[in-house]
């Protein structure tokens, strides 16, 4: 299966989306993105973490240490109010962008 | 906002405990990798392969951890801290330079802090009254007679208070002295008679008890007083029960109404109590004597100029109504704020400018030090540029270092400043008796901090810009050359040296002028000999000693008994001893001359003295005779005048001529002049030459100017004499207190406290400036020699004599000092005139001062060049040539 590099800046949006359904730790976020995109998206998994830290600093997400399903200490991330708004804004933006690009690409 | 706070907290946490954050990140990565490995193993990979694959998927953990740290580490704070610790290391690496710079800055900032702390306690101290900007002092303005600020005559004050529409209220005060009696230790008190509206006008109320009420200044109202906090504490042990009770003042019962707040010291410090200013019809109607101080509160929104013309209009009406007394009497307003410390203001402004110059010299010194270091640091800077440090980063690093240096200097300065204030405490207290307590307040700290930061920017910017401008093209050597090439690097520093020598010249000139002036001042012949003379004040209460006879009896007994004490050579009494600034002038008429209007009568300082006064003070008798015990109430009235008065009014001989106090038509008796004495500096050392009139005490009927100061010439010290005098006084009247005993020398010294203070300070600052320029010049010349080691070695190898080398270096230094002196003298000539008001018998452009300052500065510069010159001459050419 062919893999696509992640577009600059879209990682944040995907993370926010992943977290919109509840708190997850980093590994689950990475897996969720892979599975949901049916392995189409190529993420250097480690780069997820600086992105998470940055988003936390911006106040979009918050984190706490918790216990994972296999009983290990794991750091869980969760959307904040600001993060939720940010996700809405980015989704809308993304929709506009894909529609516009789609229109262009469909011309003969 | 909350996010920002949380972030700041997280950053701080990362700074304080970086290991915890690192561990956090590490653990998170670990978890991720482990999960991945577990999954791969489950799907059938070998453990080894799973690990490899997981790692490949994850990316470079070290790089990722660094990127993570960027987000979760100390951020900007961390960079600043790094800069700071790097800066500290740099400072530590060059301890001599650092200590020099810190001391220089410390001296500069310290001097500034010291002077600012004095300003803070005087000019900048807030007036503790409500809406103080509406408070105006009112003065009679007798400009046509050469006096623009005269106290009010009682009737003029009452008229203005009644008629003026621009003021919410107008009040008045008048100094008085009373004795606390009916107690074991009677005490002389400083009292203030005030209009009953004064405290309300100022917006201040007693902390205990009540204010004066309207009507309490009526002549026949019950005697009342409000006590000052300090007096209440000292004398009544802060007993609130004293309010409502009666105390004995001059033998009369007075009810205590209240206690004022601790800070309240209107109109001056040292007041013990306030009483209503009560005037009988005769006093209230007087327009001839001017002695009442007046203050008003402007109506809300009233302009000062409007009020001024209102008051002036009233003055004009009064002038028309009472031409005899009010001719040429105008009135004017001075804001209370402007008046406070108006006498000291010029000196304080000059001192403040002086310390600013000292700091500027300090800045040039440090800038020059940093410049030479910058040249040495060229290589380091290039290296860092090459290694990828941006110019902004470098600039920030350099500025951080300068600010660090400045702040450390500020701390040193704060300490030095306070040490200085402590050391000068006595002089400050004497020169500025009204100053508030000097203390470390927020404003002072803010000033020191702001000044340090500003200083850091000033001296740090030049070297920083210079260094950061280096372009890293070509070889390191080339760049180093670019920085350190003798010509350009040297020029900046030489400019700085010239500048600081010029600044030092200005300060030295100012100090020189003040020192000459002060020397002139203290060498003035005061007309008496203060050595071995001691003074004590015995104020007889008017209520108890109502009749002149009772006072005379007391005074005669006192003098007789004092003279019979062992160790006393002579004793006498006078109304006010010289140099205490109590000048009572009386107008007088000369027999045989036309009578001018009341306001244009000549005036003389009027003193009542006992026999023995002139002898005790060693005031020279020039003609005629002294007063004797025979000049009493039954003998014909006589007077002694000073030489100026005698020569001005009786050029053909004063002895035997007659004058009277007041106009020719006054009821006063004619006085016959029996003696002429030398002029005495009565008010202040730097002003004299006014007519002085003395009358014998047994012929004076005006109680308020009765002799109350006893002068004694003896071999005893104050500790012996004081108690002896007190015993004598209380053997005559056990209720009668005396003031603390003082030597006449202390009184003379106190009279020049203010000029001594400013001379001392300006001298000190000029000395610091001189020392700093010495260091600065030495540093630059010495650095120049180091820079030119090769060149000098070459010269010597080619056969130049060591003497010529020394000459070369000295000549270069001399050129700098000549330039500094030339520029400095131009500035000094421009600025000296601001000192004019403070100079006594010295012209602002005094040639002696200018020439000596030039010589001093040039010798100091020569001395600063001499050591480096010697070092140059002792260079070994073969080693010198090998130096890079």
Contacts of B383 (CB under 8 A, 6+ apart): B476
Is residue B208 scored above 70 in pLDDT? yes
Residue B243 CA, chain-centre distance (Å), reads 38
Q: Smallest Cα–Cα separation from B276: which of B221, B235, B232? A: B221
Residue with tokens 């203010």, as numbered in its chain? B754
**HEC-encoded secondary structure of B195-241:** CCCHHHHHCCCCCEECCCCCCCCCCCCCCEEEECHHHHHHHHCCCHH
Residue with tokens 């040429």, as numbered in its chain? B328
Radius of gyration of chain B from its Cα atoms, rounded to whole angstroms: 38
Question: Does the CA dihedral B521-B525-B528-B532 come out positive or negative?
Answer: positive
| Mean pLDDT, range B823-841, rounded to an integer | 90
Question: Does the CA dihedral A13-A17-A20-A22 come out positive or negative?
Answer: negative
> What is the C-alpha to C-alpha distance for residues B147 and B142, in angstroms, rounded to an integer?
5
Q: Are B298 and B168 in contact (CB under 8 A)?
A: yes
| Mean pLDDT, range B3-24, rounded to an integer | 82
Predicted local distance difference test score (pLDDT) of residue B197: 95
Is residue B481 scored above 60 in pLDDT? no
CA terminus-to-terminus distance, chain B = 57
| Residue of B4, B10, B25, B28 to mutate, interface with A, max A Cβ within 10 Å | B28
Question: Which residues in chain A are contacts of B70 at CB distance < 8 A?
Answer: 50
CB contact under 8 Å between A49 and B28, yes or no, is: yes
Q: E-strand spans in B434-584?
A: 533-537, 568-574
What are the tens digits of pLDDT across the range B341-396?
887 888 888 899 999 999 989 888 888 888 777 767 766 777 777 666 667 777 78
CB contact under 8 Å between B24 and A75, yes or no, is: yes
Q: Are B762 and B839 in contact (CB under 8 A)?
A: no
> What is the C-alpha to C-alpha distance for residues B740 and B253, in angstroms, rounded to an integer?
25
> What is the C-alpha to C-alpha distance for residues B234 and B633, in angstroms, rounded to an integer?
42
> What is the C-alpha to C-alpha distance for residues B552 and B562, in angstroms, rounded to an integer?
15
Is residue A56 scored above 60 in pLDDT? yes
Q: Smallest Cα–Cα separation from B838: which of B510, B454, B461? A: B510
Contacts of A67 (CB under 8 A, 6+ apart): A73, A74
Predicted local distance difference test score (pLDDT) of residue B498: 92
Predicted local distance difference test score (pLDDT) of residue B486: 45
A83–B contact, CB cutoff 8 A: no
User: Is omega for the bond preceding B267 within 30 degrees of 0, making it cis?
Assistant: yes
B395–A contact, CB cutoff 8 A: no
Q: Between the CA of residue B109 and those of B88, B419, B453, what are the distances in Å?
A: 20, 13, 11
| Residue of B24, B61, B71 to mutate, interface with A, max A Cβ within 10 Å | B71
Q: Are B369 and B783 in contact (CB under 8 A)?
A: no
CB contact under 8 Å between A59 and B3, yes or no, is: yes
| Residue of A6, A12, A33, A57 to mutate, interface with B, max B Cβ within 10 Å | A57
Nearest CA in chain B to A27: B32
Q: Are A79 and A87 in contact (CB under 8 A)?
A: yes
Predicted local distance difference test score (pLDDT) of residue B663: 82
What are the tens digits of pLDDT across the range B25-63?
889 899 999 998 998 999 888 999 999 988 988 888 888
What are the tens digits of pLDDT across the range B784-831?
887 778 788 888 888 888 888 888 888 888 888 999 999 999 999 988
Number of residues that make up chain A: 108
Contacts of B493 (CB under 8 A, 6+ apart): B368, B371, B372, B780, B783, B784
Q: How confident is the model at residue B487 (pLDDT cuts 50, 70, 90)?
A: very low
Question: Which residues in chain A are contacts of B73 at CB distance < 8 A?
Answer: none
B74–A contact, CB cutoff 8 A: no
Of residues A46, A68, A82, nearest to B59 (C-beta): A46
CB contact under 8 Å between A50 and B64, yes or no, is: yes
Angle at B502 between CA B501 and CA B504, to 5 degrees: 65
B10–A contact, CB cutoff 8 A: yes
Question: Which residues in chain B are contacts of A74 at CB distance < 8 A?
Answer: 28, 31
| Mean pLDDT, range B430-441, rounded to an integer | 78
What are the tens digits of pLDDT across the range B596-635?
766 678 889 999 999 999 999 999 999 999 999 999 999 9
**Quick one: B769 exposed, middle or buried, by C-beta within 10 A (0-12, 13-18, 19+)?**
buried
- pTM of the shown model: 0.74
Predicted local distance difference test score (pLDDT) of residue B246: 93
Residue A18 neighbours by CB distance under 10 Å: 19
Question: Which residues in chain A are contacts of B22 at CB distance < 8 A?
Answer: none
Q: Are B270 and B190 in contact (CB under 8 A)?
A: yes
Q: For residue A41, what is the DSSP state?
A: E
| Mean pLDDT, range A39-67, rounded to an integer | 86
Nearest CA in chain B to A70: B35
Residue B495 CA neighbour count, 13 Å, CB half? 8
Question: Does the CA dihedral B494-B499-B504-B506 come out positive or negative?
Answer: positive
Q: Smallest Cα–Cα separation from A56: which of A23, A79, A22, A24? A: A79
Question: Which residues in chain A are contacts of B61 at CB distance < 8 A?
Answer: 46
| Mean pLDDT, range B320-332, rounded to an integer | 90
Q: Which of A59-68, B8-17, B539-548, B874-883 has the weakest average pLDDT?
A: B874-883
Of residues A44, A49, A53, nearest to B29 (C-beta): A49
Greatest mean pLDDT among B380-389, B584-593, B667-676: B667-676
Predicted local distance difference test score (pLDDT) of residue B485: 47
CB contact under 8 Å between A72 and B31, yes or no, is: yes
Predicted local distance difference test score (pLDDT) of residue B581: 65
Phi, psi at B188, each rounded to 5°: -85, 130
Query: CATH number for the A10-105 domain, one of 1.10.10.10, 3.40.50.12780, 3.30.930.10, 1.10.10.60?
Result: 1.10.10.10
Question: Which residues in chain B are contacts of A54 at CB distance < 8 A?
Answer: 71
B58–A contact, CB cutoff 8 A: yes
Predicted local distance difference test score (pLDDT) of residue A1: 43
What are the tens digits of pLDDT across the range B233-268?
888 888 999 999 999 998 889 999 999 999 888 888
| Mean pLDDT, range B279-285, rounded to an integer | 89
CB contact under 8 Å between B72 and A53, yes or no, is: yes
Angle between helices B18-42 and B61-72 (to 10 degrees): 140
Q: For residue B146, what is the DSSP state?
A: T
A96–B contact, CB cutoff 8 A: no
Return mean pLDDT, chain B. Answer: 87
Is residue B122 scored above 90 in pLDDT? no
CB contact under 8 Å between A49 and B70, yes or no, is: no
Kindly provide the b/e burial profile for residues B283-313, where b requires at least 16 CB atoms within 10 angstroms of the residue's own CB. eeebbbebebbbbbbbeeebeeeebbebbee
- Tokens of residue B377, six digits: 């640091």
A and B: number of Cβ contacts within 8 A: 64
Angle between helices B753-787 and B802-831 (to 10 degrees): 150
- Percentage of chain B modeled with pLDDT above 70: 95
Q: E-strand spans in chain A?
A: 4-5, 24-25, 41-42, 61-67, 73-79
Q: Smallest Cα–Cα separation from B504: which of B163, B39, B864? A: B864
What are the tens digits of pLDDT across the range B553-586?
999 999 999 999 999 999 999 999 999 866 678 8
CB contact under 8 Å between A44 and B31, yes or no, is: no
Nearest CA in chain A to B38: A70
CB contact under 8 Å between A49 and B61, yes or no, is: no
Is residue B464 scored above 80 in pLDDT? no
- Tokens of residue B176, six digits: 């008085």
**Three-state secondary-structure class, residue B384:** helix
Angle at B869 between CA B867 and CA B871, to 5 degrees: 70
Is residue A3 scored above 70 in pLDDT? no
Return mean pLDDT, chain A. Answer: 86
> What is the C-alpha to C-alpha distance for residues B363 and B368, in angstroms, rounded to an integer?
8
Residue with tokens 């470098």, as numbered in its chain? B394
> What is the C-alpha to C-alpha distance for residues B402 and B396, in angstroms, rounded to an integer?
10
| Residue of B68, B74, B76 to mutate, interface with A, max A Cβ within 10 Å | B68
> What is the C-alpha to C-alpha distance for residues B604 and B646, in angstroms, rounded to an integer?
11
**Quick one: A59 exposed, middle or buried, by C-beta within 10 A (0-12, 13-18, 19+)?**
middle
- Tokens of residue B1, six digits: 């906002």
Is residue B442 scored above 90 in pLDDT? no
Q: Are B562 and B711 in contact (CB under 8 A)?
A: no
A50–B contact, CB cutoff 8 A: yes
Between residues A21 and B878, the one the model is more confident about? A21
Q: How confident is the model at residue B592 (pLDDT cuts 50, 70, 90)?
A: confident
> What is the C-alpha to C-alpha distance for residues B598 and B601, in angstroms, rounded to an integer?
6
Question: Which residues in chain A are contacts of B36 at CB distance < 8 A?
Answer: 27, 45
Question: Which residues in chain B are contacts of A53 at CB distance < 8 A?
Answer: 68, 71-72
Predicted local distance difference test score (pLDDT) of residue B320: 93
Q: How confident is the model at residue B119 (pLDDT cuts 50, 70, 90)?
A: confident
CB contact under 8 Å between B28 and A75, yes or no, is: yes
CB contact under 8 Å between B29 and A46, yes or no, is: yes
Predicted local distance difference test score (pLDDT) of residue B838: 87
- Tokens of residue B31, six digits: 């978890």
Q: How confident is the model at residue B694 (pLDDT cuts 50, 70, 90)?
A: very high
CB contact under 8 Å between A45 and B58, yes or no, is: yes
């Amino acid at each position: 299966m062919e893999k696509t590099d992640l577009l600059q800046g879209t990682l944040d949006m995907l993370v926010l989306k992943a977290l919109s359904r509840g708190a997850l730790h980093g590994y689950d976020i990475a897996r969720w993105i892979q599975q949901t995109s049916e392995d189409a998206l190529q993420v250097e998994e480690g780069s997820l973490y600086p992105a998470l830290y940055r988003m936390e600093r911006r106040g979009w997400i918050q984190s706490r240490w918790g216990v994972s399903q296999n009983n290990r200490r794991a750091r869980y991330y969760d959307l904040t109010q600001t993060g939720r708004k940010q996700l809405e804004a980015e989704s809308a933006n993304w929709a506009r962008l894909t529609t516009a690009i789609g229109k262009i690409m469909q011309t003969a | 906002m909350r996010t920002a706070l949380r972030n700041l907290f997280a950053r701080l946490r990362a700074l304080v405990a970086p290991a915890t954050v690192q561990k956090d990140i590490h653990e998170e990565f670990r978890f991720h990798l482990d999960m991945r490995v577990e999954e791969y193993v489950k799907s059938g990979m070998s453990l080894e392969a799973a690990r490899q694959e997981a790692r490949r998927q994850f990316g470079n953990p070290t790089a990722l951890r660094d990127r993570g740290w960027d987000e979760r580490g100390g951020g900007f704070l961390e960079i600043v801290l790094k800069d700071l610790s790097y800066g500290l290391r740099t400072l530590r690496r060059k301890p001599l330079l650092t200590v020099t710079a810190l001391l220089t800055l410390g001296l500069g900032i310290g001097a500034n802090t010291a002077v600012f702390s004095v300003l803070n306690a005087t000019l900048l101290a807030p007036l503790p009254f409500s809406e103080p900007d509406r408070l105006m002092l009112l003065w009679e303005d007798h400009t046509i007679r050469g006096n623009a600020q005269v106290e009010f005559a009682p009737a003029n004050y009452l008229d203005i208070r009644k008629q003026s529409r621009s003021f919410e209220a107008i009040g008045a005060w008048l100094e008085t002295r009373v004795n606390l009696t009916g107690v074991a230790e009677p005490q002389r008190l400083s009292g203030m008679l005030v209009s009953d509206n004064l405290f309300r006008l100022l917006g201040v109320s007693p902390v205990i008890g009540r204010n004066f009420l309207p009507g309490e200044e009526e002549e026949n109202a019950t005697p009342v007083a409000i006590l000052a906090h300090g007096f209440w504490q000292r004398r009544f042990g802060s007993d609130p029960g004293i309010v409502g009770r009666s105390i004995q003042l001059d033998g009369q019962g007075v009810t205590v109404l209240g206690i004022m707040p601790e800070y309240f010291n209107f109109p001056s410090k040292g007041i013990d109590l306030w009483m209503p200013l009560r005037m009988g019809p005769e006093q209230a109607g007087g327009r001839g004597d001017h002695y009442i101080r007046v203050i008003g509160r402007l109506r809300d929104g009233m302009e000062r100029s409007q009020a001024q013309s209102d008051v002036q209009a009233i003055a004009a009406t009064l002038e028309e109504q009472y031409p005899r007394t009010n001719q040429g009497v105008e009135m004017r307003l001075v804001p209370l704020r402007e008046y406070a410390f108006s006498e000291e203001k010029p000196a304080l402004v000059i001192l403040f400018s002086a310390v600013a110059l000292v700091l500027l010299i300090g800045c040039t010194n440090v800038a020059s030090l940093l410049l030479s270091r910058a040249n040495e640091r060229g290589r380091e800077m290039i290296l860092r540029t090459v290694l990828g440090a941006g110019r902004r980063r470098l600039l920030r690093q350099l500025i951080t270092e300068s600010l660090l240096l400045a702040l450390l200097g500020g701390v040193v300065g704060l300490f030095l400043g306070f040490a200085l204030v402590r050391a000068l405490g006595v002089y400050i207290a004497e020169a500025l008796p009204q100053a508030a307590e000097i203390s470390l307040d927020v404003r002072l700290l803010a000033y020191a901090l702001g000044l340090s930061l500003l200083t850091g920017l000033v001296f740090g910017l030049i070297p920083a810009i210079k260094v950061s401008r280096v372009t890293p093209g070509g070889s390191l050597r080339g760049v180093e050359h670019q920085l350190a090439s003798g010509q350009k690097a040297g020029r900046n520093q030489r400019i700085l040296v010239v500048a600081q020598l010029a600044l030092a010249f200005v300060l030295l000139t100012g100090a020189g002028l003040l020192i000459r002036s002060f020397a002139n001042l203290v060498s003035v012949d005061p007309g008496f000999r203060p050595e071995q003379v001691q003074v004590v004040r015995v104020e007889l209460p008017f209520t108890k000693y109502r009749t002149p006879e009772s006072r005379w009896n007391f005074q005669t007994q006192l003098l007789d008994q004092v003279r019979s004490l062992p160790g006393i050579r002579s004793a006498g009494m006078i109304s006010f001893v010289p140099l205490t600034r109590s000048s009572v002038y009386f107008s007088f008429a000369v027999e045989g001359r036309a009578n001018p209007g009341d306001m244009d009568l000549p005036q003389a300082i009027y003193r009542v003295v006992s026999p023995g006064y002139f002898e005790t003070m060693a005031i020279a008798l020039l003609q005629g005779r002294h007063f004797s015990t025979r000049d009493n109430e039954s003998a014909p009235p006589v007077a002694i005048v000073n030489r100026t008065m005698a020569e001005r009014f009786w050029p053909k001989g004063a002895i035997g001529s007659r004058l009277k106090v007041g106009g020719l038509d006054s009821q006063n008796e004619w006085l016959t002049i029996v003696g002429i004495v030398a002029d005495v500096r009565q008010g202040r050392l730097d002003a004299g030459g006014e007519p002085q009139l003395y009358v014998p005490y047994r012929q004076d009927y005006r109680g308020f100017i009765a002799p109350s100061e006893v002068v004694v010439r003896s071999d005893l010290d104050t500790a012996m004499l004081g108690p002896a005098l007190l015993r004598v006084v209380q053997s005559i009247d056990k209720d009668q207190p005396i003031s603390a005993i003082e030597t006449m020398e202390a009184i003379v010294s106190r009279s020049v406290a203010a000029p001594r203070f400013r001379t001392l300070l300006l001298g000190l600052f000029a000395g610091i400036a001189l020392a700093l320029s010495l260091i600065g010049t030495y540093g630059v010349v010495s650095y120049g020699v180091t820079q030119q080691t090769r060149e000098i070695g070459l010269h010597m190898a080619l056969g130049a004599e060591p003497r010529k080398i020394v000459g070369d270096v000295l000549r270069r230094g001399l050129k700098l000092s000549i330039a500094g002196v030339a520029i400095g003298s131009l500035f000094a000539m421009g600025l000296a005139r601001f000192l004019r008001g403070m100079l006594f018998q010295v012209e602002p452009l005094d040639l002696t001062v200018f020439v000596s300052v030039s010589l001093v500065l040039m010798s100091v510069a020569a001395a600063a060049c001499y050591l480096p010159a010697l070092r140059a001459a002792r260079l070994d050419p073969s080693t010198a040539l090998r130096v890079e």
